[in-house]
Structure 1
């Protein structure tokens, strides 16, 4: 479980590709790997991955076919930056919203609107998820817990403050991992099921 508060950016240091498999190694400042253990969960671009190896300043993960299909981790190249968040611990401050790290699909950044103090992004997403995207609702984008701005059909806007841009890779991103809010999904699907049975 994660908060959606990205802690830092890591850099893709190595990729080892086989059929329907990729081992990803990222380099990150050592303080973000303090007390890391094999089997620990870390969100990379919002995707919950399991630590399979680590050094003082690198950490490796195995990524298999379903994750490669659903996420932008299949598109990474050496030198790219990724959003990095360690898993939530009991007693941690909950600054974002509960994020599972289970990506529902990809979104495409189709428009950028830069103003003096913020950046607005418009993201197009798969139409089957329209019911779960609501103005002022939560969404996780590349692992960052964000508030939806406007919604137009299967597009929504985000308004990003400079601190979010500093900590995340959203300013340069093109395809982003999307995790829709699980509470919203549960409510919508329950209501739809009840209405369908009437």
Structure 2
């Protein structure tokens, strides 16, 4: 379980496929890599991955490796990760930790593409469109002021929501701390819907069917 509060951007050292598995290696600031055990869960761009190796690179950075299977590559933007890219990094939630965002599972529901970017002073509005093949299944869970996770970042949806199109407003801290600030028109992002929203909408749909 995660909070959607990204702790750091981590740089991709390599992403090599061997025997059908992508070995993804990232460089992480040591302050965010302390006491990580092999088998621990970490969200990378919002995708829950398992640590399979960790080693020190220098006085400030650790290398962490994950094995990413074909199914994960098929449904997330990790398939297009390249050496030198930056990914969002969040360690799993511990009992007693503050939940500053919303509860995020690390299981991606859909992908969306960036359609427009507007800069207003130091703030930014980014517009997205769900993949057309996924709009029928997931657009109903997206509404103004609701929660959404984009590349593992907990965000509040803006007012522009219609038929799988939506936007978010970003403050300078989010732009600096996460790779949302690096997005360009046409880039794909990982989307996880808010589980509470899914539960409420699904319950209402079932009740409506029963009444009909």
TM-score bin, normalised by smaller chain: over 0.9
Q: Which residue of 1 aligns with 2:191?
A: 178
1:59-108: per-residue Cα shift (whole Å, max 9, x none)?
A: 01111121111100010000000000011111111100000000011110
| TM-score (structure 1 length as normaliser) | 0.97
1:103-140: per-residue Cα shift (whole Å, max 9, x none)?
A: 01111010000111200000101312111001000000
Q: Which residue of 2 aligns with 1:37?
A: 37
Alignment partner of 2:97 out of 86, 92, 99: 92
RMSD: 1.0
- Listed as ranges, the matches of 1:130-145 within 5 Å are 130-145=139-154
- Listed as ranges, the matches of 1:159-170 within 5 Å are 159-170=169-180
Looking at structure 2, the residues matched to 162 and 19 of structure 1 have their Cα atoms a distance apart, in angstroms, of 41
Q: Which residue of 2 aligns with 1:102?
A: 107
Aligned residue for 2:198, secondary structure, equals helix
Aligned residue for 1:152, secondary structure, equals coil
Shift of 1:195: 1.5
- Listed as ranges, the matches of 1:1-198 within 5 Å are 1-18=1-18, 20-56=20-56, 57-125=62-130, 126-128=134-136, 129-150=138-159, 151-173=161-183, 174-198=187-211
| TM-score (structure 2 length as normaliser) | 0.91
Shift of 1:18: 3.5
Looking at structure 2, the residues matched to 8 and 84 of structure 1 have their Cα atoms a distance apart, in angstroms, of 5
Looking at structure 1, the residues matched to 19 and 127 of structure 2 have their Cα atoms a distance apart, in angstroms, of 34
Structure 2: runs of 5 or more not aligned: 57-61
Shift of 1:188: 0.7
Looking at structure 1, the residues matched to 150 and 123 of structure 2 have their Cα atoms a distance apart, in angstroms, of 17
1:126-174: per-residue Cα shift (whole Å, max 9, x none)?
A: 3121110010000000000000002022110100000000000012222
Q: How many equivalent pairs are there?
A: 198
Contact 2:150 2:190 in 1 (8 A): yes
Shift of 1:194: 2.0
Looking at structure 1, the residues matched to 19 and 34 of structure 2 have their Cα atoms a distance apart, in angstroms, of 33
Shift of 1:20: 4.2
